[in-house]
A and B are shown apart, each in its own frame.
Chain A
């Protein structure tokens, strides 16, 4: 099992999150909107990293919100952000599977020209230059991974899901998931070799 990485520089929980969740679970649409608005960047980030397509990522995020709306009345505690991210990941995978079933759909090609990266500075305007640079190189390197490895690394290392969760989500065997994560991580290390000095040690 992996230890969940501590998220930093990310959307923190709402100050009165438990109360807002309780109201949303009771059908308060304003409370639900407040939650989704608060976490939309977190969910979109995950969807974008899985799909690498702005439109598809936006669709997946919205789909996730719709699923969350139906499911929030049965939400039983835990970290709300993680709960919502799992729903978003499933929605992203649904889109990915639909795209794979339609051969005419053009999947984003990691080799295709300049990477379409969102503006990371927009999220953290005061982000140190080195960190921003590191994140940018990491995003580019992630795109270089084979899709299976990328999904496993994103879900496990970027979003802190454990192996079992990733296996269930990607409909893969536990051993396969572990292998993808380790190989993906080693490949990332190679891709980031030139920028090793940017890592925090």
Chain B
């Protein structure tokens, strides 16, 4: 609404907000000082501005997070945060493998009685000792634990594979096979590695949790 007799309303608004260029405009200020309509408009816009400037603060609609989770000292917290998940996963995997390994002889025992010890020892010898041929006469043989995955694979050699495929595996459940008995006797008494694997896994998990607890401060 342009009124030829009055300055543009936007310029009057500039005057209401004390704009330097509007206040420096002498024709504008001279007009306003002699015009009731424009004086009222400037005054009204000034009152509007004052009321807007008083609008109160508003309470947030929900509790707000006031601090970032990222720690201020990334030197320690940063790398702990990065390795926490892989460490926990690796620990859990180790613990799981250890647990399965530890519990299988018990299952064997339930299924086949005292012969389980034989297979356990064989497994310890083969996997833990890293000397698949150390058992002398047992070379090329496999001790089959009732067909489970824990079947001991002494060496991925063609000779062994051939023997395995040929059905020459020693069945501990059978117990009557001469080769199997000699294997049992000749194997040195060695502790099973599975509990160690289990405990290592648990230790890794606990270490990961401890590192995070100590080095990464909680938000809030």
Residue from B14, B20, B53, B68 whose CB has the most chain A CB atoms within 10 Å: B53
Binding site for A on B (CB under 8 A): 9-10, 13-14, 16-20, 43-45, 47-62, 64-68, 72-73, 217, 220
- Is B64 in contact with A40, judged by CB distance below 8 angstroms? yes
Give the residue name and chain of the A residue nearest to B44 (CB): A189
A51 to B73 CA separation, bound complex (whole angstroms): 34
Give the residue name and chain of the B residue nearest to A185 (CB): B13
A11 to B55 CA separation, bound complex (whole angstroms): 11
* A/B pair count, beta carbons within 8 Å: 150
**Majority-rule SS of B interface residues:** loop
Q: Which residues of A contact B44 (CB under 8 A)?
A: 189, 196, 199
- Is B51 in contact with A54, judged by CB distance below 8 angstroms? no
Binding site for B on A (CB under 8 A): 1-3, 5-11, 27, 29, 32-33, 36-37, 40-42, 44-45, 48-49, 54-55, 57-58, 61-62, 65-66, 69-70, 118-120, 122-124, 127, 131, 134-135, 138-139, 153, 156-158, 160, 178-179, 181-183, 185-186, 188-189, 192, 196, 198-201
Q: Which residues of A contact B62 (CB under 8 A)?
A: 54, 58
Given contacts A29-B217, A32-B67, A157-B52, contact A40 B45 (CB under 8 A): no
A190 to B69 CA separation, bound complex (whole angstroms): 47
Of the candidates B54, B64, B65, the one whose C-beta lies within 8 Å of that of A44 is: B64
- Shortest Cβ distance from residue B3 to the other chain A in the assembled complex, whole angstroms: 13
- Is A199 in contact with B67, judged by CB distance below 8 angstroms? no
Q: Which residues of B contact A124 (CB under 8 A)?
A: 56
Q: Which residues of B contact A41 (CB under 8 A)?
A: 57-60
Given contacts A2-B19, A178-B14, contact A185 B56 (CB under 8 A): no
- Shortest Cβ distance from residue A54 to the other chain B in the assembled complex, whole angstroms: 4
Q: What are 19 sample pairs from A and B whose C-beta atoms fall under 8 A apart?
A: A3-B18, A6-B53, A9-B56, A27-B72, A40-B60, A40-B66, A42-B57, A45-B56, A54-B62, A118-B59, A118-B61, A120-B58, A138-B51, A156-B17, A157-B49, A178-B10, A186-B13, A189-B45, A192-B48
Residue from B9, B66, B217 whose CB has the most chain A CB atoms within 10 Å: B66
Q: Which residues of B contact A2 (CB under 8 A)?
A: 17-19
A131 to B50 CA separation, bound complex (whole angstroms): 12
- Shortest Cβ distance from residue A143 to the other chain B in the assembled complex, whole angstroms: 13
- Is B54 in contact with A9, judged by CB distance below 8 angstroms? yes
- Is A61 in contact with B60, judged by CB distance below 8 angstroms? yes
Given contacts A41-B60, A127-B56, A158-B55, 15 further A-B pairs with CB under 8 A are A37-B66, A45-B56, A57-B60, A65-B67, A118-B58, A119-B59, A135-B56, A156-B17, A157-B52, A178-B10, A182-B14, A186-B13, A189-B45, A192-B48, A199-B48
- Shortest Cβ distance from residue A56 to the other chain B in the assembled complex, whole angstroms: 10
A1 to B9 CA separation, bound complex (whole angstroms): 18
Give the residue name and chain of the B residue nearest to A6 (CB): B53
Q: Which residues of A contact B45 (CB under 8 A)?
A: 185-186, 189
Q: Which residues of A contact B65 (CB under 8 A)?
A: 62, 65
A89 to B75 CA separation, bound complex (whole angstroms): 31
